Every structure is written in structure tokens, then in C-alpha cells.
Structure 1
Amino acid sequence: MTSNDIRFDCQHRGDGGPLVIVPRIDGTPLTELVDGFEIAAGMQPAGDAYGGLIPEFFRFGPMQDHFLGRSTNTMGPKTPVLGCECGEWGCWPLMARITATADFVTWDAFEQPHRKARDYVAFGPFQFDRHQYDDALQALSAEIGSNVDDTRA
């Protein structure tokens, strides 16, 4: 299995709003990937349902820990990788099992906890080279840090 490429996009919501984090896999935002999957699978509702995670709205703990599956405040074995487009992750989250080894980080076993009947077996898995993943997390932490400094200046 070849490795996927991951980046974490950070953008402010609206005009100077809170920071929003959207994973980008092989150049495509995860929001678009899951929308395409759900629409193709005939799921309702589907399309424009997801948004990025907003660390300011929920204390996930350090994002580096969160995206390694070690978030401080999530429920159960899965980690929210996307939230609702409204900004509240618990409203409509996309959950994934995140497994990290010395060589790889894998996202699989996706689920929409509010729609248990939905089948995401064909979505993913996404496997990332551990070094590239760690580099992306470091870039994310640096960007969050610089944005936090900007808002408190």
C-alpha cells in the first residue's frame, strides 16, 4: 500500500474568526473527500455537512496528540477528524480510528456516530508515512502557535 500525503490547513473562519483545521489528504480537503463518498453512496443528508475542527471551541489538548489518537476529551476509541460545518464538532463529527506505529499512521474505521447505519468500510483507509505525518503535525503546531500569538497581541 502506498502512503497518502497529509497536510493540515489552518484558516480563520469568516473575518477574523476562530482558527479552523481541515486535514488535506493527497491535496484534497477531507471535507470534500467525505462529501464525495457520502453522496456517491446515496447517504442523506450528504454534502457540505462537515467542517474543520476548531480548537478554540473545544479543549482537544495539543493537536499533535489529538491527531495521533491521544486527544484528552474524546469519547471512546475513535477521534474526531472533522466536525460539523456549524463549528461544533459534536454536532456532526467524522470519527476515525487513528493508529500510530514507528513507520506509519493509519486512519480507518470511519464512522458518523449520529448515523450508526452508515457504512464507511470503503472510505479509506488512509496510511501516512510517520515522518511526513509528524512533519505535518509540527507545521500545524507552529501555525496554531503563531495564530494564537497574533490573536493575543
Structure 2
Amino acid sequence: MSMNVLSFEVQSDDNSVWIMPVIDGVCLADLITAFEHANNYTDPAGGYGHIREIDFKPLGNDIDILACECGETGCWPLKATAFIENATVVWSAFRQPFRKNRNYDAFGPFRFSRSHFDTAISHLRTDITPKD
């Protein structure tokens, strides 16, 4: 089973630091938007954006993995389940909570080697740490 490659795009403004997961060189917002269009989920498709650093949790049962393009996780989030399985981190069970009739079973799962995942998170923490 091949592993995916995870990295993060980081942006900041005066108030927040914003994170976009990038999988195999493509931002997650673009991946999910393409999936939604391909499955005729156009009510609407896409609309996702970076998630605030304070809202981003890379592991858990019901995590917000992307925020709405407006920046709010309560507005139009993409949710997922993220867990550790042996030496692998798996992001799966993607869902759009405001469109419960959509089926995201064919999106992902994304699998990262645990060591690669830990390195990506470490780089993310370095990127979001304020520099004096």
C-alpha cells in the first residue's frame, strides 16, 4: 500500500495563522472540490478554505480538517476522522455536516507513515511559531 505525502501551506494575517493541508502536492481544498464536482455535489461544490491554527487538530474522531472559505469552521467545514494505525496515520471518513446525503466513502483514505506525519507536524509547528 503506497503512502501519501503530507505538507502544509501556512498563511498569516494580523489576527490568525491559517493552515491548508497539502496531500501529494495538491491542497486538500482543491482535492475535495474536484471530488464534489465529479460526484455532482454542486449544491454547492467546494467553498472550503484554510483552517485557523487554533481550530486545527490533526488527530481525532470528529475533526475539522478544512474551514469554510470565510474562515469559520461552523459555517462550512470538511470533517474527517484521523487515527493512528500501527506505524501509519490515516485520514478518512470525510464528511460535510451540512450535506448529510453526500457520500464521501470514495474520497481517501489518505495514509501517511507515522514518521513522515510527525515530521510534517513538526515543520508546521516551526512555521506557525512567531519569530522575534
Q: TM-score, normalised by structure 2?
A: 0.92
Verify: 1:103 aligned to 2:87, yes or no: yes
In the TM superposition, what are the counterparts of 1:1-153 in structure 2 within 5 Å?
1-12=1-12, 16=14, 18-43=16-41, 44-47=43-46, 49-55=47-53, 59-60=54-55, 66-69=57-60, 77-146=61-130, 149=131
Other structure's SS at 1:132 match: helix
| SS of the residue 2:18 aligns to | strand
Q: Give the AA of the match of 1:6.
A: L
Matched residues in 2 for 1:29 and 1:141: separation?
18
Between Structure 1 and Structure 2, the one with more helix by share is 1
Identical columns (%): 42
**Count of residue pairs brought into register by the alignment:** 131
Q: Which has the higher strand share?
A: 2
| Structure 1 unaligned blocks of 5 or more | 70-76
Q: Deviation of residue 17 (structure 1)?
A: 5.6
Q: Which runs of 5+ in 2 are unaligned?
A: none
Q: Which amino acid aligns with 1:46?
A: A
C-alpha displacement at 1:4, in angstroms? 0.2
Q: Deviations over 1:82-141 (max 9, x none)?
A: 000001011111001101134100011100011111100010010001100000000001
TM-score by length of structure 1 reads 0.80
